[in-house]
């Protein structure tokens, strides 16, 4: 039987080559090469992406360390400024207490009215005013601490705020003398002076207002033991009284 090839001549040759063993090997090699190129490309893309991510992560880590260092420096500066500001505030509060508003400078008034309280035969030999300044926690700070504890100590503990408290003490040294009198009579004069200071009111010489010596002071008058002695050859009884002003603070703390 006669075979008739209807394919073009070139196509026939290509088909013949593909059908040959050598043509099959070339095709397999071509497929393997394409697969290798694709695999290498995917691996290269993955490696490049991972390298870029690691590089970016290292850069971010370095930036984070810089930010952390700046944060630590700023926190240190803030702490130093806060401490300096607190010192200035304390100094300002002390200055305000040492230079109180009208009505609080009462020692001059006390000295002006003191002679009116002296009974006959009682003489002051020394007047001394001392001052003690200490710091106490403010009322608002104590309340904030209490709320924090009652709330289960959640969150940051409130900072304790302190305020200076000034206490002033007046010491009166004196003697009682009664001509041809006894120690009991001298003691009576001292007790009379004590009672006058405690309850009597007098009119101030500069504004004609009636005031008590213990106004704006604590009500307790303390005293030392009385001493029987002689001054200039005369028998006298020495005494010493201690009176205190009410504590002065910026927030009214006692």
Model's pTM, two decimal places? 0.54
Give the range among 49-53, 57-61, 149-153, 157-161 with minimum mean pLDDT: 49-53
pLDDT above 80: residue 20: no
Q: Between 14 and 151, name the one with better pLDDT.
A: 151
Query: What is the rounded distance in angstroms from the CA atom of residue 236 to the CA atom of residue 183?
Result: 8
Most confident of 68-72, 98-102, 238-242: 238-242
| Consecutive H or E run containing 150 | helix 139-150
Task: Give the pLDDT confidence score for residue 10 in this predicted structure.
Answer: 52
Average pLDDT, the chain: 79
3-state secondary structure 90-149: HHHHHHHHHCCCCCCCCHHHHHHHHHHHCCCCEEEEEEEEEEEEEEEECHHHHHHHHHHH
Number of CB atoms found within 10 A of residue 122's CB: 21
Q: Between 32 and 196, name the one with better pLDDT.
A: 196
Would you state the CATH architecture of domain 107-249?
2-Layer Sandwich (3.30)
Most confident of 3-12, 165-174, 183-192, 198-207: 183-192
Task: Give the pLDDT confidence score for residue 90 in this predicted structure.
Answer: 66
Q: Is 139 exposed, middle or buried (0-12, 13-18, 19+ CB in 10 A)?
A: middle
pLDDT above 50: residue 221: yes
Query: What is the rounded distance in angstroms from the CA atom of residue 148 to the CA atom of residue 160?
Result: 12
Task: Give the pLDDT confidence score for residue 103 in this predicted structure.
Answer: 45
């Amino acid at each position: 039987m006669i075979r008739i090839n209807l394919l073009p001549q070139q196509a026939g040759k290509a088909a013949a080559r593909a059908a040959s063993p050598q043509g099959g090997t070339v095709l397999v090699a071509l497929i393997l090469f394409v697969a290798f190129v694709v695999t290498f490309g995917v691996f290269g893309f993955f490696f490049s992406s991972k390298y870029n991510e690691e590089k970016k992560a290292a850069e971010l880590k370095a930036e984070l360390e810089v930010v952390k260092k700046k944060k630590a420096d700023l926190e240190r500066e803030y702490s130093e400024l806060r401490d300096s500001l607190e010192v200035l505030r304390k100094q300002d509060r002390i200055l305000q207490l040492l230079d109180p508003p009208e009505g609080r400078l009462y020692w001059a008034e006390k000295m002006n009215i003191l002679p009116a309280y002296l009974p006959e035969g009682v003489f002051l030999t020394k007047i001394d005013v001392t001052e003690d300044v200490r710091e106490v926690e403010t009322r608002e700070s104590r309340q904030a601490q209490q709320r924090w504890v009652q709330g289960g100590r959640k969150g940051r503990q409130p900072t304790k705020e302190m305020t200076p408290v000034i206490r002033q003490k007046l010491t009166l040294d004196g003697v009682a003398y009664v001509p041809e009198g006894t120690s009991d009579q001298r003691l009576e004069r001292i007790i009379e002076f004590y009672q006058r200071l405690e309850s009597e009111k007098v009119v101030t010489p500069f504004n004609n207002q009636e005031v008590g010596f213990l106004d704006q002071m604590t009500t307790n008058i303390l005293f030392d033991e009385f001493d029987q002695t002689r001054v200039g050859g005369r028998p006298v009884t020495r005494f010493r009284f201690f009176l205190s002003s009410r504590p002065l603070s910026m927030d009214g703390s006692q």
